[in-house]
C-alpha cells in the first residue's frame, strides 16, 4: 500500500501497570498524548519509523507528564510543541490552552490533517482538559483524548474538583457525537464494568459489554477505544438521570436520587470503596 493511502492510526502504548500512552500517526509523523514515560514512546517511534512532532497533555499527574522532559531533550523546543492546560503548572508546556481553543498541527505534521478542539473538563484535577480531534472528512468520527476524566464504563476520582464539576464535565463529553471514539488513559474497563453491573444488573447492553470485555482481556488485547454511544448506554456516571441508576444510588445513600449531581456524587463515593 502506498504511504499516501494509509489511514491515520491511533496506537495504545502500554506503560506502568495500566496506562495507555496514545500515539497518533500518519505518513511518518506522530503526536503523543500524555506521555508519562518516555522509554516506551521512544521504542514505539523507532519500531514504526515515526518522528515525534508534538505532545498533548491533559493534566499534571506524573503518569501523564513524566516523560515530557526526556522526549524534548535533544530536540529543538520550537520543533516540538507541547500543548497543555493553561490552568495547571506543567514543565515543558509551550502552548497553554483552555476550553474553547482549537488548533491544528499543519506546521509540524501536515499529514495528520486533524483539527484539535479543547474542552475544559475539571473534576479529576482542577484544570483538566480534553482534546477532540476532527479530520476534514465529515465521515470520519471524532477522536476524544480525555485523560482521566472519562474512562470506559467509569470516570476519574475527584482529587481536586467537585462532584458538580465532574458531572458537568461528563455531561459535556456525553454530548459529543455518538460515533466519537473514546481514548482514555487507563485499562480500568473490567473493574468499571463490574461496578456498573452492581448499579444496573439488568442493563442488557452493559451485560453484553462485560462479556465482550472479559473475552478481550483474556486475549491480552486493549478494551479501548470505546465510543460515546457505548458509554451513554453502559457507563453509570453518564446515566445519573436514569431511574435505574438513581434508585441504585438512593439505596446506597439516602437522598442520592434528589438530583443528577447528587446521584453522581453517591456513585463516585460508592465506586471509591467498591471491591
Q: Indicate yes or no: pTM above 0.75.
A: yes
pLDDT digits (tens, 9 = 90+) for 155-186: 999 999 999 999 999 999 999 999 999 999 99
Q: What is the pLDDT of residue 2?
A: 36
What are the structural domains, with CATH classification, of the chain?
3-186 (3.60.15.10), 240-275 (no CATH)
pLDDT digits (tens, 9 = 90+) for 223-263: 999 999 999 999 999 999 999 999 999 999 999 999 999 99
Which whole number is the average pLDDT over 25-32?
95
Which ranges of 73-188 does DSSP label H, i.e. alpha helix?
Answer: 163-174
State yes or no: pLDDT of 78 exceeds 70: no
Q: Return the active site residues.
A: 59, 61, 63-64, 124, 148, 186
Q: What is the pLDDT of residue 226?
A: 98
pLDDT digits (tens, 9 = 90+) for 87-137: 999 999 999 999 999 999 999 998 899 999 999 999 999 999 999 999 989
Which whole number is the average pLDDT over 198-220?
98
When pLDDT is cut at 50, 70 and 90, the band that residue 275 belongs to is confident
CB 183 within 8 A of CB 13: no
pLDDT digits (tens, 9 = 90+) for 141-153: 999 999 999 999 9
CB < 8 Å & 24+ apart, contacts of 22-26: 22/145, 22/183, 22/185, 23/50, 24/112, 24/114, 24/133, 24/143, 25/50, 26/109, 26/111, 26/112, 26/113
Amino acid at each position: 500500500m502506498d504511504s499516501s493511502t494509509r489511514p491515520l492510526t491511533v496506537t495504545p502504548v502500554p506503560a506502568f501497570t495500566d496506562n495507555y500512552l496514545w500515539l497518533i500517526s500518519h505518513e511518518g509523523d506522530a503526536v503523543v498524548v500524555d506521555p508519562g514515560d518516555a522509554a516506551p514512546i521512544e521504542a514505539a517511534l523507532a519500531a514504526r519509523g515515526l518522528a515525534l512532532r508534538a505532545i498533548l497533555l491533559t493534566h499534571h499527574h506524573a503518569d501523564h507528564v513524566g516523560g515530557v522532559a526526556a522526549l524534548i531533550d535533544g530536540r529543538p523546543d520550537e520543533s516540538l510543541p507541547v500543548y497543555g492546560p493553561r490552568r495547571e503548572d506543567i514543565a515543558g508546556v509551550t502552548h497553554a490552552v483552555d476550553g474553547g481553543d482549537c488548533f491544528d498541527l499543519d506546521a509540524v505534521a501536515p499529514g495528520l490533517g486533524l483539527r484539535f478542539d479543547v474542552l475544559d473538563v475539571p473534576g479529576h484535577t482542577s484544570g483538566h482538559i480534553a482534546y477532540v480531534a476532527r479530520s476534514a472528512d465529515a465521515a470520519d468520527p471524532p477522536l476524544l483524548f480525555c485523560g482521566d476524566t472519562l474512562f470506559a464504563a467509569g470516570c476519574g476520582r475527584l482529587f481536586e474538583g467537585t462532584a458538580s464539576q465532574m458531572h458537568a464535565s461528563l455531561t459535556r463529553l456525553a454530548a459529543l457525537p455518538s460515533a466519537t471514539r473514546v481514548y482514555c488513559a487507563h485499562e480500568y474497563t473490567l473493574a468499571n464494568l463490574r461496578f456498573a453491573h452492581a448499579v444496573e444488573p439488568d442493563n442488557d447492553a452493559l451485560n453484553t459489554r462485560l462479556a465482550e470485555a472479559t473475552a478481550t482481556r483474556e486475549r491480552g488485547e486493549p478494551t479501548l477505544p470505546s465510543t460515546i454511544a457505548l458509554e451513554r448506554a453502559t457507563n453509570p456516571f453518564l446515566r445519573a438521570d436514569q431511574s435505574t441508576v438513581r434508585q441504585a444510588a438512593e439505596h446506597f445513600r439516602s437522598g442520592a436520587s434528589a438530583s443528577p449531581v447528587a446521584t453522581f456524587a453517591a456513585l463516585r463515593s460508592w465506586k471509591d470503596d467498591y471491591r
